[in-house]
Structure 1
Amino acid sequence: MMSYHYAILGSGRQGTAAAYDLAVHGDAAGILLADMHLSAAERSAARVNRLAGRAVATAAALDVRDSDAVVELLKANNIDAFISGVPYFFNLPLARAAVRAGASMADFGGNTDQTRAQLALDAEAKAAGITLTPDCGQVPGLGNSLCAYTMSLFDQCHDLIMYDGGIPAEPQPPWHYILTFNIEGLTNEYFGETVFIRDGQLVEMGCFRPEEYELIDFGGDVGVLEAFTTAGGTSTMPWTWAGQLRTLQNKTIRWPGHFAQWKAFSDAGLIELEPVEVDGHRIAPRHLLHAVLGPKIEAQPDERDLVIVRIIGRGLRDGAEREVVVDLFDRYDEATGFTAMERTTGWHAAIICAAQAHGRTPRGGLPVELALPGPAFAEELLKRGFDLRVTWMEE
């Protein structure tokens, strides 16, 4: 069996989860965890080694803003493929560094403009013999791959309607929400536009559109959640499947009350990036929101989370119009201590990164929904024990 060398740039929550998955499922000879703070990388590597039961992870200090240092680290450690676990705005220069180093790259993405700029490096990536697959993670990422899987269930798919979100398993007032990833990712998701396909046409959709608000009953111990428009969830899918789908859309799900709170923050300008003057200082409202609200919604060690991804697919199967519901429910894992958000984000990126290293992905700039065939991706989910349910609706 061949073995591969991986790197994770940014050894936070999702990066640590990705490293663990590569250690267990990625045929890893070595995993280098690099972070601006060496102590953080060392803690992450120690945890991965303990959970994996072998000394597979090592630590290094790295400032990803230094592209030459990134290239040197990747080359010196013979890295086959790596994951960017740093904020999305670093990913375009990291993709250029990946080309220079000849190492494939996946990242946690979250910003569609950045993602499309990375995919524009397609020719350079092909020439370097590598794959660039941005926008991995929960959604975008796992949702894209599950959409590809849902499409594969039909002879011809017409509609893909996705709902997703990470929520506390036991919501507490006043926020009924816990932050299980970097708050930069949350406010990025709550600002700007996304693209849907409606009646076969690409349509720009803003965040918190009141007319798009829905209540969805997920049954069981979950019950009713609210669903609303946010930015970036469809990622590259509208362009990948333009001309094929009649409908493509994604809405974020939360416990009821979240929409009203955050729409108020948005309407008040608190998610804006344009600085305003406060007591003689210029400050971006978003950064103030991060500083004030972030600590109040940060997940505590004893809090458990739940991730839900639901995709409703409609199309032709065996000559008849059919509808299917594909559900993924994931909860905090007591055995490893990984949250559902860490598992669904980190493990998805690891699945793609391992496929890149193994040569299972085409080379070049590759949208995540095309990285692996849908059925092959579903096999990887089941291998990891994810709760994936496929329910065909009665005609």
Structure 2
Amino acid sequence: MKVALLGAGHIGQTIARLLQGSGDYQVTVMDKNEAALKQLAAQGLSTQTVDTENNAQLAAALRGNEVVVNALPYHLAIPAAHMALEAGCHYFDLTEDVAATQEIKRIAQGAKTAFMPQCGLAPGFIGIVAHHLAKSFDTLHDVKMRVGALPAFPTNALKYNLTWSVDGLINEYCHPCEAIHDGDVIAALPLEGLEHFSLDGVEYEAFNTSGGLGTLCETWDSKVRNLDYKTVRYPGHRDLMMFLLDDLQLKNDQEALKAIMRKSMPATMQDVVLVFVTVSGMKNGVLLQEVFARKIFAQRDGDQPLSAIQITTAAGICAAVDLFREGKLPQRGFIRQEEVALPDFLSNRFGMAYQQSRQVESIG
């Protein structure tokens, strides 16, 4: 299967190596960053210099491919999806942006090809898990989804290092958050809804951020009492981000905030991804709760060290593409994450990255 992979960043590079290494995909990595492409070419990957923000150039580059895998910043998701439609390609991406997903859903109406956005960690895997647990209940009460991509060794006041796109990070901190509260779909404020919990003896906080639910509010509307998604951080992070975004009004100058963070906050490859889902409701007349909790750690061994966020994000989109190729997903139109069966995902050669993680046995 011929794949055009858009984006040669850390996540894009990992996706390229996984798909090409499987032997079932001919991957061409497309980006305007020639230095990043040169690195990939040295590893034996096919590359093509393309200005991914130039629609005409992108459309021409996509022709002849079967699948577009988009690992570009979230603001390029809509044009990339339009160009994939024009080129007659199936489309997969990692966007957490709600507006982009709604537009891609519109693009997919009547399309002869498939469009599957939000194929990463959150949205993505977290929605697959939540839907799998939720559908086993006779009556559904509460679905709580918590995800954190955290430095293993926090040293600054924010207790955070850049583990993924700063554009995506600030975007999810600044936009309204979908949720279901007392049976009604609502728009919650980002950074609100602060809560604390402990897992494996470590203290965490969680708060509202945008995009993590994917399409679950639509899927479970009128079928669940409460459903929400929150980002997990170490205690104190939320208050400092509110100071930066609200008190200093940097939410109105997001480019300045991003520049500050890129300049002053080092990236790290030593991270941990926390996935924590709790679902409660009635089964056979009994009130029950089910929990899915995992920690995925960075891989430091080998020639290509991988951060936990690289592993989990790349595994999510590669598994989606692979399950599609195997005919285990719809072959046209808009595909929701919850259409992926969790057992299929976890048994997939790419999705197994989540199986090989450490399952957390005790919740405090």
- Mark yes or no: TM-score above 0.5: yes
Cα separation, partners in 2 of 1:253 and 1:146, compared to 1, 3 Å:
same
Q: 1:386 aligns with which of 356, 359, 363?
A: 356
1:339 aligns with 2:307: yes
5+ unaligned residues in a row in structure 1: which ranges? 50-54, 274-284
Correspondence 1:1-395 to 2 at 5 A: 4-25=1-22, 27-46=23-42, 49=43, 55=44, 57-75=45-63, 78-125=64-111, 128=112, 130-209=113-192, 212-220=193-201, 223-273=202-252, 285-300=253-268, 303-335=269-301, 336-362=304-330, 363-370=332-339, 372-380=340-348, 383-384=352-353, 385-387=355-357, 389=359
Tell me which residue corresponds to 1:277: none
Separation of aligned partners in 1, 2:138 and 2:19: 34
Q: Mean alpha-carbon deviation: is it higher for 339-348 or for 229-238? A: 229-238
What amino acid maps onto 1:39 in structure 2? A
Quick check: 1:214–1:228 contact (8 Å CA) kept in 2?
Answer: yes
CA displacement at 1:132 relative to structure 2: 0.6
CA displacement at 1:321 relative to structure 2: 2.4
Cα separation, partners in 2 of 1:295 and 1:245, compared to 1, 3 Å:
same
Cα separation, partners in 2 of 1:159 and 1:44, compared to 1, 3 Å:
farther
What amino acid maps onto 2:275 in structure 1? V
Per-residue CA deviation, residues 62-119 of structure 1 (Å, 9 max, x unaligned), is 11222232222222xx322221111111111211111121211111101111111111
Percent identity between the two aligned chains: 25
SS in 1 for 2:124: helix
Per-residue CA deviation, residues 195-226 of structure 1 (Å, 9 max, x unaligned), is 111121101101122xx211110124xx1101
The two structures, once aligned, show a CA RMSD in angstroms of 2.2
Separation of aligned partners in 2, 1:288 and 1:65: 22
Separation of aligned partners in 2, 1:42 and 1:318: 59
5+ unaligned residues in a row in structure 2: which ranges? none
Separation of aligned partners in 1, 2:337 and 2:280: 22
SS in 2 for 1:121: helix
CA displacement at 1:243 relative to structure 2: 1.8
Residues matched between the structures, number: 358
Q: Give every structure 1 segment of 4 or more consecutive aligned residues whose post-TM-superposition deviation is greater than 6 Å.
A: 390-393
What amino acid maps onto 1:133 in structure 2? M
Per-residue CA deviation, residues 263-314 of structure 1 (Å, 9 max, x unaligned), is 10121354434xxxxxxxxxxx2111111222222314xx510110100011
Question: Which one has more relative contact order, counting CA pairs under 8 Å at least 6 apart?
Answer: 1
Quick check: 1:112–1:236 contact (8 Å CA) kept in 2?
Answer: no
